[in-house]
Amino acid sequence: MNLATVPLLVIATHAAVEQPPDPAIDFRTDVLPILQTFCHQCHYGLRTKGRLGLDSREAMLKGGRSGPAIIPGDPDGSLLIQRVTTRDPQDMMPPKDGPLWKVEIDILREWIRQGAPWPEDPDDQR
Ligand code: HEC
């Protein structure tokens, strides 16, 4: 990846998560920023590429064209993890800004392993 072409926002986000993930993943500070930065532009609200929304736990469990995106407790069995870790450029998510950094993938993986907890109101940023 040519860093010169990476938007500044992405660099800022990457810098913020450079530390190894804490064993206790916090949805709002660890997981949500990754989804917002790399996924929501295509999987949020009415924008459901692949018929998949990534804006609620319910939407992830329901999944898209291929079925559930996450299986709580089973990151390797979760389509979301498969699509961010694949080496096939046709399948890779996010399509253009990928692959995610390993630390980001580890956060998503650990979050799913812990059962993918999702606070009642993820838009409440207080
Ligand atoms: C630029 C738009 C775009 C972004 C950003 C994006 N996706 Fe996608 N995504 C798509 C499109 C288009 C499809 C449908 C085609 C396909 O399956 O490859 C898709 C499909 C998927 C699927 C398969 C859905 C199904 O049931 O078949 C998953 C899982 C997925 N995306 C996860 C993610 C994740 C996780 C992120 C963020 C890390 C992300 N996507 C970011 C465009 C995007």
Instruction: Please report the pLDDT score of residue 120 as a whole number.
Output: 74
Among 49, 82, 109, the mutation site with the greatest number of ligand 1 atoms within 8 A of its Cβ is: 49
Q: Is the pLDDT of residue 124 over 90?
A: no
Across 81-87, average pLDDT? 97
Shortest-distance atom of ligand 1 to CA 100? 38
63 lines ligand 1 (CB under 6 A): yes
Instruction: Please report the pLDDT score of residue 9 as a whole number.
Output: 53
43 lines ligand 1 (CB under 6 A): yes
Q: Is the pLDDT of residue 22 over 90?
A: no
Query: Which residue, by CA, sits nearest to atom 10 of ligand 1?
Result: 49
For residues 74-110, one letter each, b for 16 or more C-beta atoms within 10 angstroms of the residue's C-beta and e for the rest, the string is ebeebbbbebbbeeeeeebbbeebbbbbeebbbbbbb
What's the burial of 24, exposed, middle or buried (CB within 10 Å: 0-12/13-18/19+)?
exposed
Asked if residue 119 has a cis previous peptide bond (ω within 30° of 0), the answer is: no
Instruction: Please report the pLDDT score of residue 126 as a whole number.
Output: 43
